[in-house]
Amino acid sequence: MTNLKYAALLAGALVLALPGQLPAQDGEAGVEPGIDAGVDAVPAAAGNEFRSIDEDVQSLKAEVLELNRDLFLLEEELLFPANSQVAFFLSVDVGTYFALDSVSLKIDGKEVANYLYTDREADALMRGGVQRLHMENLKVGDHELVAVFTGFGPHEREYRRGATVNLSKGLGAKYVELAITDRAAKQQPEFDVREWE
Amino acid sequence: MTLPRASSVLLWALLLTAAGNASADKPKTTTVVEDPHYGEVLFHFYQEDYFPAIVRLLAAKSRSRLPHHDAEAELLLGGLYLSYGHHLRAAEIFERLLADSVDPSVRDRTWFFLARIWQQRGYLDESFAALANIEDELPGSMEAERHLLRAQLLIDRGDHGRAIELLQGFRDRTEWASYARFNLGVALVKDGQTDAASRILDELGQLDPWTDELSALRDKANLALGYAYLQAGEARAAKRPLQRVRLNGPFSNKALLGVGWADAQRDDYGRALVPWMELRYRSLLDPAVQESMLAVPYAMAKLDSISQAADHYLDAVEAFEEENRRIDATIEALDSGRLLSGFLADNANATTGWHWRLEELPPGAESRYLYHLLASHEFQEGLKNFRDLDYLARNLERWRGSLAVFRNMLDTRVRAYEERLPRVTASLGRADLEQKVDRKLAFDSRLDSIERNRDSLALANEREFALWGEIAALEQVPALQAQIPEAEDLRRKVRLLKGVLQWELDREFKERLWRLRRDVRQTGEALVKTQRSRRRVDESMRKEPESFASFAERIESIDPQIRDLRARIDAAMDRQRGFLQSIAVGEMQAQKERLQAYSVQARFALAAIYDLAATTTTAEASR
């Protein structure tokens, strides 16, 4: 019921609207405690001050995001020059009963990635997200890719599936998508590999 | 730019996330990911890691990596900005995209969420304008919330008349009707129509609540009404609503205090002591409890229990002083920045989002005084900004560290290139491609000549060529030239041999010529490839230093940007910290002033009691 919260906050204003003191209490002890609404209003000037700071923050966010974009690209282009770059992506297109646990990747016999998924990551993949699993510099020519995933199906049944693919690396960047999919006739999750030059 | 239908679904998913409902309701978008980089952005977005998602989206757009998701990418960016709390940039995108290209219902909902963010951030005019952009009825509770939001904005603007009109015309069958009634009460009070407000509060104070929030609303209405009656001196009327407040709700302390005052107003101090004594065992942080510490001895004095009253006043003075010292310590912790840093400690490394809220204060004696600041938009939104700035500062520090690594990497690449260059140049020099091309061309003309002259001997293999040579030599042997039958026989045999060899050579000629031409053609193709590679190597040798220079320039240009941004972030953090501290310290000062006032009242009352006792003793003695 988060939607109700702001209305509840608004409701607080009424208590503010009815502050005041009880009529003075007479008496020998001379005590005249008042009735305090107990909610202090933020001074009006605070709103302007907040907005001014907020506008600063908005502008800084924009600049830092743009700088991050530049740095992200700089890092990528420096570490993985376009003529040797190969990016491996992982996607999942299976029924909700399948829980992805891990993916490992070998290129030309050398293990380059071994990834264990958190629930949050697995969930993001199930919802259509695509993970950039690994980036690699590969020479022009043929390479062997071995990918293995593990996970759990219905009734905690453990899955372990692999795929071996021969990749041909040409000039220019290459993207490889490893899709875990159960669209095949067997209705069991399998790897489906797509390549882009 | 037109947006596909799928974009509406995507935007709806974005808005749900921006509204903080992502974990409760996770819609799976119907968008089929065509570009992996687009999917990568979604991967981070679905994990609510908005900052990295935005960075990846900006990077992918700048490198044209989203050819299949052009329109959606822009919308996604708007949604990500919204989720991240970068609301001004989000609004720019939505204003551009939502004009006439999206499902109207999604467009309306987008404006609604923007209005809500802006209202919370104090951008009231913008919030008002966003609400005005909504054309049709919103689904579910959003429609009710829209009306209440608009009414609140009107009240904030001081336009109570229109707020009253709006709320009076509001019809709803859900709990929103109760909130609207309550807010109508607020508007009426602010408009000076207290009688009308009282009727509404009385009605709300008797509602049968079916949720916790409605119970709290009912309590609040009763409390407000009770205190309004107390102020008007109508003690009997005040008790009824005050007694309707739950005994253990957030308003129970204030209600108990009020009930006591209602009795006290009617001079029934004995009865007043019952709720006030109950308050003595509750948290002294609550001003109602603090006030009860004065109210109890006040009632006792009224009941002539002077000695007990004096004891209670002494207890109160001591408790107020102790509390005062604690508040001073809290102010000191606030001034030193220690307390605010504690607010950042939780999930400091997590990315930020608009729907983040500080739900619990960090442990420690000092933070307990700040509880009701958590309900204030200014404090929460300010804290969010402070947290965002802290995240930006740490992000830039990480990159600053990376820049040194980038420089090293670039140096290594430059050195490796410079080491390789002489070897490559020497090897290329040895290759002499031009000479190889000339040879290939010479082969071509030779083959042309062979074909033209049908020079089958030119294509003979080694054995045949040797045989041909032997036959030619035999033909030149003088003995064979003799005009004798034996020589004639041998000449005939030699001619036969030569004829057979010539026949074989002629028979093989076409095939041999074809094979040779094929081999030469393949050689030519290989030479062309080699020439291309050579050109690439030449180009690379020419471009590589340029590329190194460009990388170096990019690295060096970023360094001052980071320094400049860091300085501005630090300055903004100082301002934000100062703002939060001023709210918090202001709150502390108000508590201090209240305690001091109570303390003065207690001391004054004690003095009065001592005076009274002294006067009584003197009078008795003189008698």
Residue-wise pLDDT for B230-259, tens only, equals: 888 889 999 999 999 998 888 999 999 999
Q: Is the pLDDT of residue B125 over 70?
A: yes
Which residue carries 């071994």 as its tokens? Answer: A114
Confidence of residue A88 (pLDDT cuts 50, 70, 90): very high
Task: Summarize pLDDT for A100-136 with one digit per residue, the tens.
Answer: 999 999 999 999 999 999 999 999 999 889 999 999 9
B539 falls in which pLDDT band (50, 70, 90)? confident
At B618, list the tokens.
Answer: 């003197």
Q: What are B349-366's pLDDT values in tens digits?
A: 455 666 666 666 666 666
Mutate to test the interface with A, among B311, B399, B551, B555 (most CBs of A within 10 A): B399
Place of tokens 């759990």: A152
- How many angstroms from the chain centroid is the CA of residue B358? 16
Instruction: Find chain A residues with C-beta within 8 A of B28's C-beta.
Output: 126-128
Contact B121 A51 (CB under 8 A): yes
The strand pair at A174-181 and A85-93 is best described as: parallel
Q: What pLDDT does residue A177 have?
A: 93
Among A35, A54, A79, beta carbon nearest to B385: A54
Sheet holding A158-169, edge to edge: A110-116, A99-107, A141-152, A158-169
Confidence class for position B425, pLDDT limits 50, 70, 90: confident
Q: Which of B92, B54, B48 is nearest to B73 (CA)?
A: B54
pLDDT digit string, tens, across residues B500-510 = 999 999 999 99
**pLDDT at site B238:** 92
Question: Are B190 and A1 a contacting pair at CB < 8 A?
Answer: no
DSSP code of A80? S
Predicted confidence band of residue A47 (pLDDT cuts 50, 70, 90): low
CB nearest A14 (choices: B186, B294, B582): B186
A137, B27, B367, B494 from B171: Cα distances, Å? 65, 30, 42, 124
User: Whole-number mean pLDDT of chain B?
Assistant: 85
Q: Do B145 and A67 touch (CB under 8 A)?
A: no
ipTM entry: 0.82
Per-residue DSSP letter, B169: T
d(CA B304, CA B299): 9
For B408-422, the pLDDT digits (tens) are 999 998 999 999 888
A positions 13-32 inside 8 Å of B (CB): 13-15, 17-18, 20-23, 25, 27-32
* Reported confidence tier of residue A33, pLDDT bands at 50, 70, 90: very low
Residues 6+ apart with CB under 8 A from B164: B184, B187, B188, B191, B193
Q: Which amino acid is at A88?
A: F
Between these two residues, B5 and B129, which has the higher pLDDT value? B129
Q: If you count DSSP H runs as helices and E runs as strands, how many of each does chain A have, helices first?
A: 3, 8
Where are any strands of DSSP class E within chain A?
85-93, 99-107, 110-116, 130-137, 141-152, 158-169, 174-181, 190-196
Question: What is the spatial distance between Cα B419 and Cα B399, in angstroms, rounded to a whole number?
Answer: 30
| Prediction pTM value | 0.75
Q: Helix (H, G, I), strand (E, B), or coil: what is residue A112?
A: strand
A52: nearest Cα among B58, B238, B378: B378
- Concatenated DSSP letters of B504-567: HHHHHHHHHHHHHHHHHHHHHHHHHHHHHHHHHHHHHHHHHHHHHHHHHHHHHHHHHHHHHHHH
Cβ neighbors of B541 (< 8 A, separation 6 or more) are B421, B424, B425
Find where tokens 């907040």 sit: A50
pLDDT-derived band at B56, boundaries 50, 70, 90 = very high
How far is residue B617 from each of residues B112, B302, B622, measured CA to CA in Å?
Answer: 73, 19, 9
A160 touches chain B (CB under 8 A): no
User: Cβ–Cβ of B175/A4 closer than 8 Å?
Assistant: yes
pLDDT of residue A195: 87
Taking the CA atoms of chain A, what radius of gyration do you get in angstroms? 30
Q: Specify burial of residue A125 (Cβ count, 10 A radius: 0-12, 13-18, 19+).
A: buried
pLDDT at A30 over 50: no
- The stretch B105-109 carries a mean pLDDT of 79
For the stretch B15-34, pLDDT in tens is 655 554 444 344 444 467 88
Question: Helices B104-121 and B377-431 meet at what angle, rounded to 10?
Answer: 110
pLDDT computed for residue B1 by the predictor: 34
Which residues numbered 103-132 in A keep a CB inside 8 Å of some CB on B?
Answer: 120-121, 123-132
Sequence-separated (6 or more) residues with CB below 8 Å from residue B70: B1
Mean pLDDT of A176-186: 79
Give the amino acid at B1.
Answer: M
